[in-house]
Chain A
Amino acid sequence: MNFGRRTLLQFAGGSAAGALFTPIPWRLLWDSAVWTQNWSWIPKLPRGEVTEKFSTCTLCPAACPVKARCVGNQPVSLTGVAATAESNGALCPVGLAGHHLPYHPKRAVLPFRRRSVNGKVAVSPLSADEAAAAIAERLNALPAGQSTVILDERPGRVTSRIYQTLAAKLPRGEYVTSPQTEGGTLAKLESLTGTPAAMNMAGADLVVSFGTPLLDGWGTPGRVFAARDRFRLIQVEPLLSRTAAAADLWIPVYPGTEAALALGLLNLLTGAASGWTPEKVQSVSGVPAESVARIAAELKAAKAALVIADGDPGGGAFSPDEQSLFAALNLAVDSAVHPCGVPRVTRPIEALPDASIGVLLCDAASSGAGTPWRVIARKLAPAAMVVSLSPFLEGYGRHAELIVPAPAYLESLQEVPTAPDAPAAGFALAPPLIPARPGATEPAEFIARLAGEPVTLSVELKKHVEALHATGKGEVVRYAGGEVTPVKDFKTSDELWNALNQGACWRQGLPAGMYASKPSARLLQAAVQSAERRLAAGGQTDPARPLMLITTAWRATAGNAQVSPLLTKLYQESELREPGNSAAIHPDTSQKLNLKHGGQAILTTACGSCPVAIVVDAGVMPGVVSAVIGPTVDSIGAAPRNGGSTIGDICAPDGDAPWRVTSAQLRRA
């Protein structure tokens, strides 16, 4: 046998054929597929013991208990806690992905200053001390007539009390709250009657909601859904929202005329708003007269009714005038409101004169609502200094000259005040689950440094817990197991502090009776007059912009809040939610304007223009544009820094009722 080239090739051919009958090619195929999923730059989960830790979600006011599955002390997933009535195991998508936020692409990790030089934005890093010095310099030179303002988006906290104290020590310091916070109707009820109020949704048999997304991001979702089977829900709003679709009755109403319906109801219930007959209500609001009479009859017959008008997180709050009316309605019926809770100290930023803020210090917390920047900007003096204490570059940070980043969610000890739908006062701690990044500064401690009053937040929180312990009132619910322990059973305040730090919440006991106050004739008259004034002021449309723009947002995804980029699956891939900058119009409106579903259009208001994607939806009233302001592309870290206008940017603030309805024009792009 001769060995030559031919033999070698025959041998190689045999080997190649033989290889197909071995595991080599098939196994390498599988292995290389796995190998491509394990590139060195792909973040790896830590190895370590799998443990469970408990905390409380601080991303919105809902105060949901959270269970974190940790691997080697690193939270790798968050879920709700089923053992407590506080959330019944529910957690919204934003909360489920909350542990991603410390690693958000728009996370600020070190303080920096942003300046405009020759039309270009220049960014220079600096230390927290240098940032404090720069602010102090500006405070010392604050012109007469300008103030230093601390903007608190989450009032009712111990931190809020600290801010109020510190504001008094800053040059012409003011403490203001977010233009929109959940619990607006109850807050108005308190201010009218002087008695703290809380709602007992579990005991309600009828809920009339004015534009509040009760079933889609309001209050504590788990608690609302647990009570849902027991109450009838009437949803009053201009579009067929998710809550309206799931309500027992949806009452479409022209945008901005909700107060007319409330006046009609008050007239039928108390006779106070004479002249507001169902027919007049129909002519103003579009609500059929028989529907007005029907809702009034249901409110009258209800044993425990609730009227809630907190508005959509992206839609803007109702004005104080309108809220007086909704509060009066709660007093005029057999209400499911308790004389309970904690007094809410709110001072909306609208109360400040325009162009009066010299230095604005924006706290890191988010109200959960998407406040358009223009609402705040109109209060700023020319060349005002905006300081963002948020851990993110976006939100208010997008407009800030100085960013002094706070620790992100789960990175530092935080507090959780009473949820807006809680039946009684509550308090919880959100213990940190991961260490804060170096360079992060607690906002209250930073502002305290500016005011020359050293404050340590954890010390102040501990004092609060000591005070709770001293009262001996209420009970503590441990998230692990749901065990309930009366406060008086904690021998020392340290025991209570430790329990809260391991994942627990304190809650006040429920009062025996309901809200006893009945509306006085004077209160009713004042509410009616102010609402009529409000209605008279609104409703004037600009002929050049004949459409009515109303905005919506998914709670805790717009404004100062950021969401995990992974949540894009909910609104970019699955279309379970409309993406930011989409505008829904009625088929008649689309036909009239020659706009097609999926087409691009330009939405114009008095404040600017913005490109939008058209959604044709019969659930929107004709003549109305319903636009989504959150989550925005900014909030997922996809937009360039200081990118173009968003719908939130072009909403026009309107006196004391910011951006609820804006005159707009829509044309094909």
Chain B
Amino acid sequence: MKHSGKISFFAGFAVMLAVGWAGFPRLLYRGTPQPLSFSHKVHTGEKAGMKCEDCHVLRASGSFGGVPALESCAGCHAAPMTGTAPEKRLIDNYVTPNREIPWLIYSRQPDNVYFSHANHIRLAKLACKQCHGDHGDTDTLRPYQEDRVSGYSKDIWGSSISRISFGRGRRDGMRMDDCVSCHREHKVSDSCLACHK
């Protein structure tokens, strides 16, 4: 057949494109469910009416509390409020034995990065959504996806493996070049020591 060579070549080309764009991301990440189901939507919705900073505290000193400790949850859920299964698991597995919930942090930066929430929220006036997207409105916690090679969370690279996002109103990814480009955009220092202290 006259064009059999080209067909074989382009077949290989097409197969690899499919593997690279569809199969590889699935292979690369290992998904782990969160220890407990949690609805941000319920907590920030009309019924509970909480704000992000009610649990993710920015202390007066400027330090960021991160993921709330068990005592924040126990403040309301020491006894059943809703009677749902996740709440029962929360009380039985964590509140009653006073055991911290081993949340898996989607946006955890590597150890060599110093990141100040205070600077970004108070000085730069960035909204939580700008980096964390619509996380605060979600009804369930998606599984934590860990890069099998680097060990980093998928959120560091970004949800799209191509790192191309179209008009989503936020940066997709938290890699160093994301930080640097935002700093340059806002004309603030992007020296090494700003983050690697």
B1 at the A interface (CB under 8 A): yes
Q: When chains A and B are docked, how far (Å) is the Cα of A44 from the Cα of B108? A: 14
Q: When chains A and B are docked, how far (Å) is the Cα of A2 from the Cα of B5? A: 10
A32 touching B63, Cβ below 8 Å: no
What sequence of 0s and 1s flags, for each residue 1-15 of chain B, a beta carbon within 8 Å of any chain A beta carbon? 100110111111111
Which residues from A are CB-within-8-Å of B63?
50-52, 69
Interface set of B (CB-CB < 8 Å, partner A): 1, 4-5, 7-17, 19-21, 24-25, 28, 59, 61, 63-66, 69, 110-112, 114, 147, 149-152, 157, 161-162, 197
B8 touching A10, Cβ below 8 Å: yes
Q: When chains A and B are docked, how far (Å) is the Cα of A32 from the Cα of B63? A: 32
If A11-B12, A31-B147 touch, whether A21 touches B20 (CB-CB below 8 Å) is yes
If A15-B16, A480-B61 touch, whether A22 touches B21 (CB-CB below 8 Å) is yes
**Chain A to chain B contacts (Cβ below 8 Å), 17 pairs:** A1-B7, A7-B4, A7-B8, A14-B13, A14-B15, A14-B16, A18-B14, A19-B20, A21-B20, A23-B161, A30-B150, A31-B150, A34-B152, A35-B150, A49-B66, A50-B64, A50-B65
Indicate the member of B4, B13, B162 with the most A CB atoms within 10 Å: B13
Q: Which of A1-47 contact B (CB under 8 A)?
A: 1-2, 6-8, 10-19, 21-24, 27-28, 30-32, 34-35, 37-38, 44-45
Closest to A24 in B: B20
How many A-B residue pairs have C-beta atoms within 8 angstroms? Tell me: 107
A600 at the B interface (CB under 8 A): no
A38 touching B150, Cβ below 8 Å: yes
Which residues from A are CB-within-8-Å of B65?
49-50
If A34-B150, A34-B152, A480-B61 touch, whether A14 touches B10 (CB-CB below 8 Å) is yes
Contacting B12 at CB < 8 Å: which of A6, A13, A27, A45?
Answer: A13
Q: When chains A and B are docked, how far (Å) is the Cα of A14 from the Cα of B150? A: 29
B28 touching A14, Cβ below 8 Å: no
A493 at the B interface (CB under 8 A): no
A27 touching B61, Cβ below 8 Å: no
If A1-B1, A15-B15, A50-B65 touch, whether A23 touches B8 (CB-CB below 8 Å) is no
Which residues from A are CB-within-8-Å of B21?
22-23
Q: When chains A and B are docked, how far (Å) is the Cα of A45 from the Cα of B111? A: 7
Closest to A71 in B: B111
B111 touching A22, Cβ below 8 Å: no
B20 touching A31, Cβ below 8 Å: no
Which residues from B are CB-within-8-Å of A193?
none
CB distance from B12 to the nearest CB of A (A): 3
Which residues from A are CB-within-8-Å of B28?
27, 31
Which residues from B are CB-within-8-Å of A35?
149-151
Q: When chains A and B are docked, how far (Å) is the Cα of A14 from the Cα of B10? A: 6
A49 touching B12, Cβ below 8 Å: no
Q: Which 6 A-B pairs have the closest CB atoms?
A: A22-B20, A14-B12, A18-B16, A10-B8, A14-B9, A34-B150
CB distance from B187 to the nearest CB of A (A): 26
Which residues from A are CB-within-8-Å of B7?
1
Closest to B108 in A: A47
Q: Which of A52-69 contact B (CB under 8 A)?
A: 52, 69
A23 touching B162, Cβ below 8 Å: yes
Known contacts A11-B8, A14-B13, A77-B197, then 14 further A-B pairs from the complex at CB < 8 Å, ordered by chain A residue: A6-B5, A10-B12, A11-B15, A13-B9, A14-B11, A14-B14, A14-B15, A22-B19, A22-B21, A23-B161, A23-B162, A24-B20, A34-B151, A37-B112
A32 touching B149, Cβ below 8 Å: yes
